[in-house]
Structure 1
Amino acid sequence: MDKFFDFDKTLEVMQYGFVRDALIAAAILGLLAGVLGPLIVSRNMAFSVHGTSELAVTGGAAALLLGVSVGLGALAGSVVAAIVLGLLSRRSSETDSVIGVVLAFGLGLGVLFLWMYPGRASNKFGLLVGQIVSVDFASILLLSICAVVVLAVLAVIYRPLMFASVDPDVARARGVPTGMLSPVFAVLVGVATALGVQTVGALLVLSLMVTPAAAACRITANPLRATILSVVFAEVSVLGGIILSLAPGVPVSAFVCTISFLIYGFARVSTRKRVLAH
């Protein structure tokens, strides 16, 4: 146990500037993931998040190859993926197949770009499992700007988007522009997913974007309460994951996904007990 968590060493490492930067970035990311998560769950977009995260890797790998900002590359890749998925999957019946096709193509390109990149292997590995040492002031600035934009747009479209998520047929009949809301929300999710790749990595970004919200939605059906719980669960997962990973030097994503899974497991067990009690 001491090998995996040394309290004194953790406190010592937390004095470094890059760790404080990572915690700030993680807190912003947890807020974004927590707010978007319940809508992702209610709209059954978990697979879409996974596909978008893989395309963020493709964009990040292309950025590594070109020698430009990995964060901007991942952001560009995920936004392009969100737009493509939104345009190609107009009908819900073909959404999964379209995501699978785009995901496979993008992942193939990403593998090619990573193979062509002559730099350090740790940079390639960081795209998959996260790399908190890569978080700097520029990353926090980009994250902050994107978070403000995403939350501002979401505030404008939240009510009609929630209506369309709960009952799309009635919303369409009432004149809600569901055809426009879906791709806009997909882009918002793509931006948040790309920002998560740099912290927790593409392979486990679902643990932050979906799992906390899934746990919150198990506990309550109230949208406001679910959003608040989702933010709390996301913050605990990502901040707790970073702090626990400091001493052993284990990739952050290993702890983030474990904490979020435990929260989800607890939510399922507690709600099941409540149902059986009634």
Structure 2
Amino acid sequence: MLDAMLSFELLRNTFYTGLLVGLIAPLLGTFIVVRRLSLIADGLSHVTLAGIAFGLFMQKKYTLLFFTPFHTGIFFAIGGAIVIENLRSIYKAFQEIAIPITLSLGVGMSVVFIALADGINTDIFAYLFGSVAAVSRSDLYVILFTSVFVIFVIIFLYKELFALSFDEEFATVSGIRAKLIHYLFIVMTALVIAASIRIVGVLLVSALMTLPVATAIRVAKSFKQTILYSIIYGEVAVITGLISGYYLEIPPGGTIVIIAAFLLGATLLAKKFYFSYKYKG
């Protein structure tokens, strides 16, 4: 694979994108899991698919020149994130209903735009399951900008995000601008999901944001350790999945998720045997 990476720019772009996604998806996923919003990735990923299908439709029917389907997917994801946050403020006693509403809307729009774009094709297939050779240089720049933005915001607003994740009422009383940070957080989530879709695919993107975190929770002793271990598990899954996908000639999304699930299962078994041994000893 190293020789191929040196020879083909698309493979280099995909590998660099994988490294970035393996960093920012578990990083943001840690806050998502703690806030009990794990299903938000599914909702926003389907809205992103609607945006991608819309971009393909516009590209096919009207020769859209200025925006690629990847870019329209990002715009739709941000719009879906804002809708979710507005619905959460309207249904304060039933905030979780915002996610299935948005997911249903995303699925409906996806079906319509995919049909208008002449149905399932190789382009849609790559977005559904990821691809080892689907990232252009412009896509890489967008994902790099997204990664820098997400990392900067989390470093700059770490205390506020931490406080809102564990005790929103106390954080609000303390003077934190909760509403603004909520909107910023969910927009970041939309950007990370849209970026991750290139590698993992729409149907599997939520796994990359939750499985490494679920694994890290079982071994970490603090929140910062959870973030660090999540990133490590995420990078291992992405790099191994990309290499496996290249040699097996299959979409990398499935192999990434399988490896992430394997790491989770191995960690759970190791913890179980460790405690059993410790208890017997």
- TM-score normalised by structure 2 residue count: 0.90
1:273 Cα shift?
A: 3.6
- Given that residues 61 and 70 in structure 1 are in contact (C-alpha distance below 8 angstroms), is that contact kept between their aligned partners in structure 2? yes
Distance 1:240 1:81 in 2: 31
Structure 1 residue 125 and structure 2 residue 117: aligned? Answer: no
Cα deviation code 1:210-246 (max 9, x no counterpart):
1111211221141221111111111111111010011
1:125 Cα shift?
A: 1.0
Structure 2 partner of 1:152: 152
Counterpart code for 1:69: T
1:168 Cα shift?
A: 2.0
Cα deviation code 1:184-208 (max 9, x no counterpart):
1111111000111111101000121
Q: 1:30 aligns with which of 18, 22, 27?
A: 22
1:85 Cα shift?
A: 0.3
Distance 2:181 2:113 in 1: 33
1:92 Cα shift?
A: 5.4
1:145 Cα shift?
A: 1.1
Range 13-22 or range 205-214, more displaced: 13-22
SS across alignment from 1:181: helix
Unaligned ranges ≥5, structure 1: 1-9
Percent identity among equivalent residues? Answer: 23
1:147 Cα shift?
A: 1.2
Structure 1 partner of 2:249: 249
Structure 1 partner of 2:53: 61
Counterpart code for 1:78: A
1:95 Cα shift?
A: 2.4
1:169 Cα shift?
A: 2.5
Structure 1 partner of 2:63: none
Structure 1 partner of 2:78: 79
- Given that residues 55 and 68 in structure 2 are in contact (C-alpha distance below 8 angstroms), is that contact kept between their aligned partners in structure 1? yes
Distance 1:187 1:87 in 2: 12
1:151 Cα shift?
A: 1.5
Structure 1 partner of 2:9: 17
Distance 1:175 1:271 in 2: 40
Distance 1:60 1:180 in 2: 28
Counterpart code for 1:139: D
- Given that residues 87 and 183 in structure 1 are in contact (C-alpha distance below 8 angstroms), is that contact kept between their aligned partners in structure 2? no
Cα deviation code 1:85-141 (max 9, x no counterpart):
011112554222221112111111111111111487101111211123221111111
1:76 Cα shift?
A: 0.7
Distance 2:272 2:120 in 1: 48
Distance 1:120 1:207 in 2: 23
- Given that residues 13 and 246 in structure 1 are in contact (C-alpha distance below 8 angstroms), is that contact kept between their aligned partners in structure 2? no
- TM-score normalised by structure 1 residue count: 0.91
